[in-house]
Amino acid sequence: MAQANPNAAVKAANGLGPKTYICSVATGTISVEDACLAITTARGGATIAGIEGVANGDHIAVQGGATPSVSGVTVVATFG
């Protein structure tokens, strides 16, 4: 979770577990299902932690492993 110091300043932190990538999926290029399969197959140890939906631009949360590199998938945020 995000952390605050005694001065109430915001500090970056990760309460999500392992390094987590939030990715946007361009369904005109790849389906969300195929994106999840490609990420978990190509990146041993990667886990799909969440799926927003299956529409164009929807997001998936990927935990563990290296930065996802799949055509049609864009990393929009990294935690951890």
The Cα–Cα gap between 12 and 74 comes to 22
pLDDT single digits (tens) 9-53: 666 666 667 789 999 999 999 999 999 999 998 767 789 999 999
**Cβ proximity of 60 and 50 under 8 Å:** yes
Task: Give me the CATH topology for the region 3-79.
Answer: Alpha-Beta Plaits (3.30.70)
The Cα–Cα gap between 30 and 23 comes to 13
What ranges do the domains of the chain cover?
3-79
Q: Model pTM?
A: 0.80
**Cβ proximity of 61 and 20 under 8 Å:** yes
- The predicted pLDDT at position 2 comes to 58
